[in-house]
Chain A
C-alpha cells in the first residue's frame, strides 16, 4: 500500500461522509483535466453482464441497468502510474484542507462514462467488503449523479425496494467526495454531456481504527 502523510482528523470509517468543492485552485483543476482527459489511455470494460452474478456486493432489479464504461488505471492493491499520482495529489489537498487522518490508497483508477440511452442508474454496489472509504473526484462538469444509499453491506442481499438515498452528488469539476465504503452506491450515466470523467480510489485509514 502507498502511504500518505496527513494531519489527523478522520478517525473512523463508519458513517464518514465528506464533500468539498473548494479545495483546489482553478489552475489545479484544469491541469488535472488536461492530464486525465487528454493524456490517459482508456480501456473499454465489458459491455454488459449477460448473466448477473449471485453477489451480495451488488443489488439487482429493474430499477437499475448496468452500462459500459472505460477505465484508465487498474484495480491493483499496489496502485502506481499517473492516475494514482494525480489521485494522491488530489487526496493530499483535500486532506490538508479538511484535516483528515493519514490514509493509504489501495485502488486508483479513472472511470469514463459516455452518453447512454438508459436513464436508470447502474447496479448499486460496494467496491469490497473490507472496511474502506470510497473516494471520488469529479474531473469535469457533467450530468450523471453519484448516489450513496443509506443501506450498508451486511453480507445478506437487499431488495431494490429497500434502498433509500443518503446523498446525491452531481459531478462538478474540482469537487470530491469521500464516504464509508460499506454504503451501497451507484451512478447515473450521462444523458447530456458527452463524457463524465472521475478519479475513483479506495482508501484505508493507516493503522486502522
Chain B
C-alpha cells in the first residue's frame, strides 16, 4: 500500500447535493443479498461469535465501471471528494450501494477487507442513521491470520448524510446494523489512486 490513509469529510457536498444523492439512491433498485459474503479465513475476513452476519440489499455491481443506476451517482460523489482533497483516481474497482435494515442483532458484522488487491475504500453515507463503521488497527497482509480476540478498534464513525471516508483498503473494517433508524444506506467504492496523489503529502 502506497500510503496508509484515513480521511473523513462532512463538508464536500452542499445540502442540495446531499439531498439529490439520497433521492437518487432511493430510486435505485436493490437486490437481496442474504449474507455479506465476507471471507472466513482470518486473512481477509474474521469470524467469531463477537460478530453477526447480516442480510443486506445491494444496488450496483462488483464489476468495474459496470452500467448501473448507482454508478453515475457514485462517480459524482467520489469525484467531488477526490477533487477537493487533490486525489487522482487510477482505477475504479467496484461501486455499489449497500442498504441494511433495522436488526435485532447488536453485534457488528464480520471484520473484512473488500477485495484481494491493493486499494482504498471510499464510503459515503447516504442518509442519517445509526450503525457505526468500525475500522480496526489490524491490517490484512494475506499472510497473518487473525482471530476475533486479536482485533482492536482504530476508529469508529457514525453515519451522517453527506459524510464520506477514504481509508486504506487493507485495514479490517466492519459495521453495525441500525438499531434506531429504519435503514442505513452507503455508497461503497473500491479504487486505486494515482501516484501523483501522494507527491509530497503526509497522511499519517
Contact = CB atoms under 8 A, between A and B. Distances in A.
A38 B102 CA distance: 19
Interface string B7-38: 00000000000000000001111111010000
Query: What class of interface size applies to chain B in its complex with A?
Result: 10 to 19
Interface string B44-74: 0000000000010100000000000000000
B6 interface: no
Interface of A is mostly: mixed
A42 B30 contact: yes
A115 B26 contact: no
A68 B183 contact: yes
B101 A115 contact: yes
A82 interface: no
A72 B32 CA distance: 12
A37 to B, nearest CB: 6
Contacts of A37: 32
A44 B30 CA distance: 8
Contacts of A42: 29-32, 57
A43 B57 CA distance: 10
Contact of B32 (A38, A46, A68): A38
B31 A117 contact: no
B180 A117 contact: yes
Contact of B103 (A38, A72, A194): A194
B27 A114 contact: no
Nearest to A113: B101
Contacts, number: 51
A43 B29 contact: yes
A70 B182 CA distance: 12
B143 interface: no
B117 to A, nearest CB: 28
A114 B29 contact: no
Contacts of A117: 102, 180
Interface of A: 37-44, 46-47, 67-68, 70, 72, 114-117, 192, 194-195
Given A68-B183, A195-B32, 11 more contacts: A37-B32, A41-B30, A42-B57, A43-B27, A43-B30, A44-B26, A44-B99, A46-B26, A68-B182, A114-B183, A194-B103
- Give the 6 A-B residue pairs with the shortest CB-CB distance, closest first: A41-B29, A114-B101, A115-B102, A44-B26, A42-B30, A43-B29
19 contacts: A37-B32, A41-B30, A42-B29, A42-B30, A42-B32, A43-B28, A43-B30, A44-B26, A47-B182, A70-B30, A72-B29, A114-B101, A114-B183, A115-B103, A115-B104, A116-B102, A194-B55, A195-B55, A195-B101
